[in-house]
Structure 1
Amino acid sequence: MILRIFRAVVQEGQQAAFRDFIENTALPLTRRQDGLVSVTISAPHAISPNEFSMVSVWRDLDALKAFTGESWQEAVVLPEEAHLLAASHLHHYEVLATEGPA
């Protein structure tokens, strides 16, 4: 499995607009993808008031590529969100183990 962490730093004053985008556009789009195991979104905290994240787990690299295309190492930034972003960061990891509630 592949763990994908997308961090978005939004422009000052754009937190509400980006939250609306991520909840109503990005999350539904991601949830529809075959091969998605899980997805979690987070909103800013006082320590980082302009930073959101989306953490997704994919069955395998082929499933991730079906969503992102061959440029899977690059963030999927839609035109309607680009103007909201000050910066974005993307990281991928191979999942070695998962654990649920005991």
Structure 2
Amino acid sequence: MIIRIFTATVPSELHLEFEAKFKEISVPLVKNQSGLLGLEIAKPTQWNPNSYVMISKWAAENDLVRFAGENWNEAHIPSGMEKYIEECSVNHYLDIPI
């Protein structure tokens, strides 16, 4: 399993609009992918006041390739979401069964 952690910095004045569009555009896009095992999204706290995160779990690398292309190790910003993202990053991890 591959765990993908996408983090986006969004200016505070765009938070409400971003959250609505995130749920409307980004979440369904990811949820409809084959090989997706789980999805969580989270909004800022007082310690990271402008950071949003999307954590997705994928069965295999080829599932990520189908979703994000050959450069799946780079952030994938859906059309219509670019205006909200001040900066972003994506990191991938292999799970350790416990």
| Superposed pair shares fold, TM > 0.5 | yes
Moved over 6 A (4+): none
TM-score, normalised with respect to structure 1: 0.90
After superposition, where does 1:1-102 map in structure 2 within 5 Å?
A: 1-97=1-97
Over aligned residues, Cα RMSD in angstroms?
Answer: 1.1
TM-score, normalised with respect to structure 2: 0.94
TM-superposed CA distance for 1:63, in Å, is 0.7
Q: Identity across aligned pairs (percent)?
A: 30
TM-superposed CA distance for 1:12, in Å, is 3.3
Q: Residues 2-30 of structure 1, C-alpha deviation per residue, up to 9 Å, x if partnerless?
A: 00000000123111111111111111111
Matched positions, count: 98
Unaligned ranges ≥5, structure 1: none
CA distance in 1, matches of 2:53, 2:83: 17
TM-superposed CA distance for 1:83, in Å, is 1.2
